[in-house]
Amino acid sequence: TCFTVCLLAVVAVVAGQGRPDEITDCDSAKMRACTSNLATFWQYTNEDMNNFWKDRHVFDDLVTKKYGKNAEDYTYVCNGISLFYHCIGPSNIQYCMGVSGLTNNQMSAFDAYQMDGMLNRIRFECGDAFFPTVTTPDVVNCIQRTKTNYVQNFGSITDSYENQIQHDTYANVCSNAQGFMSNITDVYRRGPCSEVPNDAVLSMAQWYGCNGARQHVLAQYRHCESSLQCGNL
Ligand SMILES: *[C@@H]1O[C@H](CO)[C@@H](O)[C@H](O)[C@H]1NC(C)=O
C-alpha cells in the first residue's frame, strides 16, 4: 500500500550465477543513460553527475543535498536510488557497481569498498529502516538534518576508517569496523536528534545511525557480523 509516501522497492542485489551466455561486462552506455535518468529525477545536470560513481565524496554530497525535512523528501532520495537500480538491472548491478565495477570505473579499490559500503547503508536506510523512519515525523526530520549538517563529518569518519584499515593489521578489522560504527553513531547521538525533547527519537536515531554503519562495514567484512552489535549504544 502507498499512502503519503510511495516507496519503490529496492531490488535485491544478488549476484547472478554466471552462465557463459550472460553479460559479464558493465554495459557502460546503459550506466550513462541510467545515471542521466537519475540526474533528471533529482534535478541535477549530467555535468553535476560526472563524478557521481567515481568519487564517493561527490556521491555523498549529491545524495545528501536531496534530503529535506519530511517523509516525502526522504522518499524522494530513496526512489532515486531505486529507479537507478531498476534502470541498470541485476547483471549491471553486479558488473558496473560492486567493487570490481567501481574499480573499472576509475575508483581506487579502497574507495570502492567504502562506496560499496555506502550503497549497502542506503539499502538499509531505504529498506528495513524506511517505514520506522518515515512514520515518525520528528525522527525523519532530525535524521535528514543530521545527514545534511554533518555530511563533512561522515566523510571524514569514513576517510579515517579507510585509512585505518589500510594501515592496521588485518586481525584488527572487526575492531576498526566497530570504531567506525561508534563514531558514526556519535554523530547521530550529538546532532539534531538530541535536541528533540523525546528520548525515543534519540534512541531511534542512534539505532538508525549504528545499523546503517553496520551494513556499511559488513559489505566488506561479512565475517565480523556476529561481533558487530548495536545493542550497547
Ligand atoms: C573514531 O574516533 C576516534 C576519536 O576521534 C578516533 O581516534 C578513531 O580513529 C576513530 N575510528 C575510526 C575507525 O575512524
Q: How far is the CA of 118 from the centre of ligand 1 (A)?
A: 18
pLDDT at position 16, please?
Answer: 43
Ligand 1 centre and the CA of 75: distance in Å? 31
pLDDT confidence of residue 142? 98
* Ligand 1 within 6 A of CB of 153: no
Contacts with 172 (C-beta within 8 Å, 6 or more apart), sequence order: none
d(CA 115, CA 216) in angstroms, rounded, equals: 9
180 Cβ closer than 6 Å to some ligand 1 atom: yes
Best CA proximity match to 31, nearest among 8, 15, 47, 53: 53
Nearest C-alpha to atom 14 of ligand 1 is from which residue?
A: 161
143 phi and psi angles, rounded to 5 deg: -65, -40
| Residue 25, pLDDT score | 86
Q: Contact at 8 Å (CB) between 188 and 205?
A: yes
Q: In this predicted structure, what is the pLDDT of residue 233?
A: 53
Question: How many Cα atoms within 13 Å fall on the side-chain side of residue 173?
Answer: 15
Q: What is each CA distance from 165 to 45, 117, 205, in whole angstroms?
A: 35, 14, 26
Q: What is the DSSP letter of 193?
A: G
Q: Is the pTM of this model over 0.95?
A: no
The predicted pLDDT at position 6 comes to 64
Segments in the chain below pLDDT 50: 1, 3, 11-18, 20
| Binding site membership of 154 for ligand 1 (Cβ less than 6 Å) | no
